[in-house]
Amino acid sequence: MTESGRVFVPSVTEEDGGSIGLGMFSSEETAWKVLREFTKKSHLMKLTRSDIVIWEIDVVGEEAMTVLSTMHCRDCPVCKRRTFWVDLESLSALCSGRLCEAWIEESTVEPGKIDLGWPPTRFLKQTETIEEAYTELNAIGAEIEAAGRVPDDPFTSLPEE
């Protein structure tokens, strides 16, 4: 008898309910890399969620599939593009647009605290709740708009390629 293998399958779901499979990979790392690259373009499509599913090869029934991650796509509170991917299971969020990269996550140092940041200005802050974290990032977005920037204007801490 041979040992059962597994594959990692990233996919995204469109607003109309259609699903787009992004491939089938033998490593979790590759599946995440493919999904992250694809979600960088999420503002060009009407995506609502993404998943990475582990499929056990040669296994029949419900035990063959395990959902590794599910993320929901939202408008970024900073850049206002539809590139903010939220994982409610692990309480984390990241703007996948390389021009923004705003993020929120549960603190690994102080349980019960929420860390957030916006890399272009090296902004880091800690809040008590997820709602406060969104409020802080919304304030940064409002300041950017007040300064005359709109979502189509590029801003980044990364040099142009």
The one-letter code for the residue type at 16 is D
Enclosing H/E stretch for 138: helix 130-146
37 and 17 Cβ atoms separated by less than 8 Å = no
* pLDDT per residue as tens digits for the range 67-110: 999 999 999 999 888 999 999 888 899 999 877 899 999 998 88
141 and 80 within one domain: yes
* Residue 23 belongs to some domain of the structure: yes
Task: Please identify, among 37, 58, 74, the residue that sits at the C-terminal boundary of a domain.
Answer: 74
pLDDT at 89: 83
Question: Is 50 in contact with 71 (CB distance < 8 Å)?
Answer: yes
On whether both 49 and 104 belong to a single domain, the answer is no
pLDDT above 70: residue 1:
no
**Rounded distance between C-alpha atoms, residue 114 and residue 132, angstroms:** 9
Residue 2: pLDDT over 90 = no
Element containing residue 150 per DSSP (H, E): none
Whether 159 maps to a domain, the answer reads no
The answer to whether residues 131 and 84 belong to one domain is: yes
Give pLDDT, residue 88: 83
Residues 79 and 69 in one domain: no
Range of the domain at 106: 75-147
- Do residues 39 and 98 both lie within one domain? no
pLDDT at 160 over 70: no
Same domain, 35 and 98: no
pTM equals 0.78
* Residues 29-73: tens digit of each pLDDT: 999 999 999 998 888 889 999 999 999 998 888 889 999 999 999
Q: Is residue 14 part of a domain?
A: yes
Residue recorded with tokens 């499979």: 21
Domains in the chain: how many in total? 2
Final residue of a domain: which of 29, 53, 74?
Answer: 74
- Are 54 and 66 in contact by the 8 Å Cβ rule? The answer is yes
Please, which pLDDT band fits residue 148 given cuts at 50, 70 and 90? confident
Residue 157 lies in a domain: no
Q: Where are the strands (E) in the chain, listed by range?
A: 6-14, 19-21, 47-56, 65-74, 84-87, 92-95, 103-106, 114-118, 123-127
Q: Classify 63 as helix, strand or coil.
A: helix
pLDDT digits (tens, 9 = 90+) for 113-145: 999 999 988 899 999 999 999 999 999 999 888
Last residue of a domain, one of 33, 54, 74: 74
Element (H, E) at 139: helix 130-146
DSSP state of 25: B
